[in-house]
Chain A
Amino acid sequence: DTAVSQTPKYLVTQMGNDKSIKCEQNLGHDTMYWYKQDSKKFLKIMFSYNNKELIINETVPNRFSPKSPDKAHLNLHINSLELGDSAVYFCASSQDRNNSPLHFGNGTRLTVT
């Protein structure tokens, strides 16, 4: 049974559209994250929530809005999609907010045309 699951796995959409990616973890972890991986495999943190509270908000356009309805879920909504948003988005969770390894989902490949 998948520990961190995110949907959809693939998302192809046109510029200007709004889309959402959902993430759920069944590990009982307190902290969840969104990372973006570009075409060169570089992983950059976007957001982190601890017990539904936003604790990390990197320099991300405000078109990106995370939402955590409970500590097991962290969704990512993106407004007015741009070509540069094309990437693989990874959800992750960790037991604590500090000094705990991250458990990643298998990613959502977003392609904006």
Chain B
Amino acid sequence: GESVGLHLPTLSVQEGDNSIINCAYSNSASDYFIWYKQESGKGPQFIIDIRSNMDKRQGQRVTVLLNKTVKHLSLQIAATQPGDSAVYFCAESDFKTIFGAGTRLFVKA
């Protein structure tokens, strides 16, 4: 069946370091991929997206990489800050948006 999974359930980084969160997806028909950030008590918040005709997209301090050959997606956060501490979800979409299990990011001061 369709699934989107994450390699690491938790990630702990030092403030100022770069963070990399990885994700594997299985639906070859997915053509749109999104990263969301969820803080405690709130709904998931859109961070960055990428379409299947691209392999890299950059935002403010964030970069998403897409490798369709191995069905892999990653989120890179530069100069990680305490405010980046949250649960991060990757999601894939063809007709419907399917979420991965989530990675909790801890930022140590």
Contact = CB atoms under 8 A, between A and B. Distances in A.
Contacts of B42: 106-107
A103 B98 contact: no
A90 B36 CA distance: 14
A90 B98 CA distance: 14
Contacts of B51: 99
Contact of A56 (B38, B89, B96, B99): B96
Contact of A98 (B34, B93, B98, B102): B93
Q: How large is the interface on B (under 10, 10 to 19, 20 to 34, 35 or more residues)?
A: 20 to 34
B31 interface: yes
B60 to A, nearest CB: 16
Interface string A21-50: 000000000000101000011111100100
Looking at chain B's contact residues, is the secondary structure mostly helix, strand, loop, or mixed? Answer: strand
A42 B101 contact: yes
B43 A41 contact: no
A45 B93 contact: no
Nearest to A104: B43
Contacts of A35: 99
Interface in B60-109: 87, 89, 93-99, 101-102
Interface of A: 4, 33, 35, 40-45, 48, 56, 90, 92, 97-99, 101-107
Which A-B residue pairs are the 4 nearest by beta carbons? Answer: A104-B43, A43-B99, A101-B46, A99-B32
